[in-house]
Amino acid sequence: MTDAVIHALKATNLVKTYTESGQSISVLRDVSLHVDRGEMVAIVGASGSGKSTLLHTLGLLDQPTSGEVFVNGHSVAGLSESARSRLRNQHLGFVYQFHHLLPEFSALENVAMPLIVRRESRNKAREQAQIVLEQVGLADRVDHYPGQLSGGERQRVALARALVTRPTCVLADEPTGNLDRYTAESMFDLLVRVNREFGTAFAIVTHDPALAALAHRQLAMEKGKLIDAETVPLGAA
């Protein structure tokens, strides 16, 4: 099955339940949403509201109990784990609160890794990694290791790694949550610039109202349900 209108991401009637000590716990309750190509959507809500679970499900890192996810128009229902991995590698990028860079590899090598996983040649992967690192303002840091970079620089490397495959959509889980205010604002500006210049869609889970206000739309979650959707002009205060 394919999505009739091809969105970057789409979810219909997602339900996610866990069983703990014999009790059924509902984390996602009939959640439906879409992220258009080139759109930036912020998902806000209190801790425990289901935001991260929703992001992991949209990113094919977790499977819903029921409901359907479409990535760039392709339904993931019934796909094998290897097929899900291929679709994820082709169309999605990920940025987390903690950068998850490999400490024994340089910035260039960390960013090239998704292309190497895709079986691109090492030379081509390194060339593309160099280009993207320059685009995020790290041309002079390509040979530095994570331990030699500031927190903001590490997050820029993580963003470059997410962008190097030219994904349809980047999923970001609290991408500025571990940064000071000045560095976070610099990261905000970078996310907006990438969205505008490259047309990359973003689905961003955040507690930060300043970051959420930059999105085209804000989706609010409460107790596993979407309770509000607000259209916000990009760049509004």
pLDDT tens, position by position, 127-162: 999 998 988 888 999 999 999 998 888 888 988 998
The pLDDT score that the predictor gives to residue 4 is 52
Domain ranges of the chain: 9-231
Q: Residue 149, Cβ neighbours under 10 Å: how many?
A: 18
Q: How many CA within 13 A on the CB side of residue 187?
A: 32
Phi, psi for residue 152 in degrees, rounded to 5: -65, -40
The pLDDT score that the predictor gives to residue 3 is 61
Burial 173-186 (b: 16+ CB within 10 A, else e): bbbbebbeeebbeb
Beginning with the edge strand found earlier in the chain, give each strand of the sheet holding 201-205 in spatial order: 92-96, 169-173, 201-205, 40-44, 217-222, 225-231
- Determine the Cα–Cα distance for residues 3 and 146; give it in Å rounded to an integer: 40
The pair of three-digit structure tokens given for residue 81, joined into one six-digit string:
């784990």
- Determine the Cα–Cα distance for residues 221 and 49; give it in Å rounded to an integer: 6
Residue type, 51: K
Per residue in 160-184, pLDDT tens? 998 888 899 999 988 877 777 888 8
Q: What is the model's pTM? A: 0.84
CA atoms 72, 208, 146, 156: torsion sign: positive
Per residue in 60-108, pLDDT tens? 988 899 999 999 888 898 888 888 888 888 899 888 877 788 999 999 9
9-231 falls under which CATH superfamily?
P-loop containing nucleotide triphosphate hydrolases (3.40.50.300)
Please name the helix (run of DSSP H) or strand (run of DSSP E) that holds residue 91, with its range, or none: helix 81-91
Per residue in 32-64, pLDDT tens? 999 999 999 999 888 888 888 898 999 998 889
Per residue in 181-235, pLDDT tens? 888 888 888 888 888 888 889 999 988 888 888 889 999 988 888 875 454 444 4
C-beta of residue 170 within 8 angstroms of C-beta of residue 92: yes
The pLDDT score that the predictor gives to residue 237 is 31
Residue 189 in 3-state DSSP? helix
The pLDDT score that the predictor gives to residue 233 is 42
C-beta of residue 13 within 8 angstroms of C-beta of residue 226: no
Listed in order, strand segments (DSSP E) in 76-131 are: 92-96
Query: How high is the mean pLDDT of the chain?
Result: 85
